[in-house]
Amino acid sequence: MKHPFACSGSSQPLKILLVTLSLFRVAVSEDGFCAAPSIIKETPESESRPLYWKVTNPTLSPSHLQDLPGFTRSVYRTDHALITPESQVFGPLPDWTNTLAAYLITPAMGSHFVMYLAKMQENSRSGLPPSDMERFIFVVQGTVSLAMSSYGQQLMVDSYAYLPPNVEHSLSSNALATLVVFERRYASLDGHVAEMIVGSTNKQPLLETPGEVFELRKLLPTSVAYDFNIHIMDFQPGEFLNVKEVHCNQHGLLLLEGQGIYRLGNSWYPVQAGDVIWMAPFVPQWYAALGKTRSRYLLYKDVNRNPL
């Protein structure tokens, strides 16, 4: 009988993946899919850690791989990529001050958008995106100030802002803050204008997901003025996508919490909080949540435009 997780069209089932993991002494635990029990232990402080703490403090961090020179979980293919924390490269972010960034998805891969992590330091300030580019920011650590000519607001963890193209604005922070940022050239439609949006995940309603069990929130309006949306998707341990998706949309994904298995094409990848995934159009994709805690990811999806 064929293993339920066997790769389609392949004779190598998931057990090969599990054997590989065992060679690196990796274990599935509540703390993370790639938790190393001899290094990571649950403490009373664990329960009070900030939301999305694992994004900036992954269980299998670069420091845990010092004795495995050359090893990375990152993978790049023509139709997908998995970019894991140990291979993220940070450098000064152009036009920003006191900010380091790691570009994780760019058009060099074949995407029509960029996705990067921005680590703002003390007395940091953002620059503007290029002309006609729209920007979406989501706060995963710390607090940032969003300022416009007649508007100002503090954005805390789990808050976000959508800035339409050519809108003057600045982001600043007086302490360590981490943002995930999406930028792309706006695909305008006559008679429709995208407006600035500021909000937080917990204020967005749960939406119906016919045939599925995961919980879904959309952070942007679904009206045609917006050419992409950002989804927040929650899975309880053991839940999975019922649809094995193949579609024309591109995705940029950041796993915010939890752990699981992601199928991309004919490959199966263990993933954990802090991992980033790029999915090209029409790559087969599927997700299952593992572990003992909720799995949550943030997902970019282009919408409302004719592929032609």
Phi, psi of 189 (to 5 degrees): -130, 135
Provide the CB-side half-sphere exposure for 122 (13 A, CA).
0
What order do you get walking across the sheet with 215-218 strand by strand? 75-76, 80-83, 276-279, 251-257, 295-302, 228-235, 215-218
Q: What is the pLDDT of residues 197-223, one digit of tens each?
A: 999 999 999 999 999 999 999 999 999
CA–CA dist 166, 131 (Å, integer): 6
The model carries a pTM of: 0.85
CA distances from 5 to 8, 12, 19, 286 (A): 9, 10, 14, 11
**pLDDT, the chain, mean:** 87
Q: What is the pLDDT of residues 158-181, one digit of tens each?
A: 999 999 999 999 999 999 999 999
pLDDT for 68 equals 80
CA angle 139, 182, 237 (to 5 degrees): 60
pLDDT beneath 70, residues of the chain: 1-47
CA–CA dist 92, 191 (Å, integer): 39
